[in-house]
Chain A
Amino acid sequence: MSGSADSLQGRPAAPSRTKRNIAIVAALALLGWALVSVDVQLDRLVDLPGRLASIFERMFLPPDWAYFGTAADEMMASIQMAWIGTVIGAVLSLPLGFFGARNVSSGPVSNVVRLFLNAVRAFPELVLAIVVFVPIAGLGPVAGALAIGVHSIGTLGKLTAEAVEGIDSGPVEAARATGSRPLQVQRWGVIPQVLPEVVAFWLYRFEINLRAAAVLGIVGAGGIGQILLNTLSYRRFDKAGMAIIIIVIATILIDYISGTVRRRIIEGSGARRIQGDVLEQPELVEVPGPGAPTGAGRS
């Protein structure tokens, strides 16, 4: 190919970087504007470490252990709130997700549904709770659950629709070719491909909704959030510290369980990517360090 004596010919020119540079300058300019115009007293930052240390001390050294029971009860309420909200969201988002998918439902219908889902998504749970559901259901976890549920419909609906749009059309074609009715096509062609991913979304949503539930408590939906609001408002930092510990433990626990189940579901569905080809040697599984094997596949 290029065995020519003049080796500089045949070399392509470097592609232009202007667009990229303009984008970077624009982003930096935006950041600069924000930094300059935000109304912040920077001298407060000086006190920050000291203040934080003092709060931290009053919260955790030691926390109010006697408060454990109350805090744990309220944490349960928040978990239940999040669970119901997720269930509502999951159940209602499934059909909406299908209708919102361009490849499964018709073009205009899917557009309308997607728009609706986006609108619902745009309402943070907090706003939904305060404005709509507290007046309806009164203060307490029910309002919280409903707010979480309605908001989740939006997010889960969008993710479900995207998952449905991302499927392999082969099985769907095959199902249609056998003369199945539309609902059967969904059941056998689409759902098997999509279900693991969608269930994984539901579980992840539950993790997020748990946090939302804690937050909603602050605006009156009860649960552990209410505890946080009360204790911090009255500066009972030791009680607040106990509540925080409970939140951390419960959230990490639930994240872990949910994450494990999610991983099992995804792995079981065969969607896992397979690295490299036939492995000749057993992998040396080690975190790469200088001189250590990287554990990549061999052949």
Chain B
Amino acid sequence: MTSASLAGPAERPAKPPRSLLVPAGIAAFLLITYWSVSAEFGIGLDLGEIFKDLGRGQIILADVLRPNFDFFERTIPSMLETIQMAIIATAIGCSIALPASFLASRVTSPNALVLRVDRGVLNVIRALPDLLYGMIFVAAVSIGPLAGILALILFNLGVIAKLLSETIDGVDVGPIEAARASGADRVETVRTAVYPQVLPNYVAFSLYVFELNIRASTVLGLVGAGGIGNLLNLQIGFFNYSNVGFIILELFLLVFVIELVSISLRRRLV
């Protein structure tokens, strides 16, 4: 390497200005946290106090961690009801959610009006807690699992339509072009070019929602909408914390089993 082939040192580029985004984000974060924690504006979180009161919790926790296995028989009817509610709500909710999702995605929706209306309705549905639906339906059809099922259907609709429509937004549009080019109409295009792409996600979301439904029914029971929640509430009311512990254990096992099944099912499909 005798003669230098470079004309001279290359010009160094100027350092780009540091983006304000990250420091702004951190500042916002700290501000909101302070506001939330302070006693004046927020909820008054005092970790010191809490640590002092942990003792109370310990006693209860001790009971909860010694579940009463004899309680099993009494939980069977409620558990079955929970499972039934979850199955029915998942089936109906997911069926309705499928077309709703297609209408809520800008890739597959027929026009801007339908898109906005559908998304708007779904946003409102998602904004409200399922317990609220539970309470309203209990007021409408009185207590029992029917109210719970109806509440869960709405809840499922909100969750799945959001997740699925976002998935649909991200599909490969190439096959859609191919379908249109071959003369397929909207329904056929969606069925052959979009649906196969999102099917694995749809199944995964449905299984996820089924699991959510099981957990939600604990809560719905509290307002009388059926499921294990009612029994749970009773036990808490009577301070039978080791029965409570058993119910929690049961639920944990149930959810665990469902998750195993769901993982293996999902693997089969993909």
Contact = CB atoms under 8 A, between A and B. Distances in A.
Do A and B associate with each other? yes
B132 A118 contact: no
Interface residues of B, number: 81
Given A80-B36, A131-B236, A294 B64 contact: no
Interface of B: 21, 25, 32-33, 35-37, 42-46, 49-50, 53-54, 56-57, 60-61, 64, 80-81, 83-85, 87-88, 91, 106-112, 115, 123-124, 126-132, 135-136, 139-142, 144-146, 149-150, 170, 172-174, 176-177, 180, 185-186, 189, 215, 218-219, 222-223, 232, 236, 241, 244, 248, 251-252, 255-256
A122 B170 CA distance: 31
B219 A48 contact: no
28 contacts: A31-B87, A31-B88, A37-B84, A40-B145, A55-B140, A84-B33, A118-B256, A122-B252, A122-B256, A123-B252, A131-B236, A132-B57, A132-B60, A136-B53, A140-B43, A142-B45, A214-B129, A214-B132, A219-B222, A232-B135, A247-B129, A268-B21, A287-B109, A287-B110, A287-B115, A289-B111, A295-B173, A296-B177
Closest 5 CB pairs of A and B: A80-B36, A251-B127, A141-B43, A34-B87, A136-B57
Nearest to B61: A132
A84 B176 contact: no
A32 to B, nearest CB: 10
B43 A244 contact: no
A1 interface: no
Contacts of A135: 56-57, 60
Given A39-B144, A40-B146, A126-B218, A290 B139 contact: no
A219 B53 CA distance: 20
Contacts of A288: 107-108, 176, 180, 186, 189
A144 to B, nearest CB: 8
A218 B146 CA distance: 21
A23 to B, nearest CB: 8
B135 A228 contact: yes
B4 to A, nearest CB: 30
Interface string A109-132: 000000000110011101100111
B135 to A, nearest CB: 5
A246 to B, nearest CB: 10
Nearest to B29: A87
A124 B218 contact: yes
A35 B129 CA distance: 25
Interface string A48-90: 1001100100000000000000000000010111011001000
Most B CB within 10 A of own CB, among A77, A87, A118, A136: A136
Contacts of A222: 43
A101 interface: no
A55 B150 CA distance: 16
Contacts of A6: none
Given A84-B43, A131-B64, A248-B127, 7 more contacts: A40-B149, A45-B141, A80-B43, A136-B50, A218-B222, A288-B108, A296-B176
A40 B144 contact: yes
A232 B35 CA distance: 30
A252 B43 contact: no
A212 B132 CA distance: 11
B123 A255 contact: yes
Contacts of B21: 264, 268
Contacts of A138: 53
A159 B180 CA distance: 38
Contacts of B129: 211-212, 214-215, 225, 247
Contacts of B241: 131
Contact of A83 (B33, B83, B130): B33
A44 B144 CA distance: 11
Given A38-B88, A131-B60, A294-B176, A84 B36 contact: yes
Interface string A208-240: 000110110011001001001100100100000
B244 A131 contact: yes
Contact of B141 (A47, A235, A248): A47
A240 to B, nearest CB: 9
B43 A136 contact: no
Contact of A252 (B64, B127, B146): B127
B50 A215 contact: no
A198 interface: no
Most B CB within 10 A of own CB, among A126, A244, A255: A126
Contacts of A47: 140-141
Contacts of A273: 170
A276 interface: yes
B173 A275 contact: yes
Interface in A241-299: 244, 247-248, 251-252, 255, 261, 264, 268, 273, 275-276, 287-290, 294-296
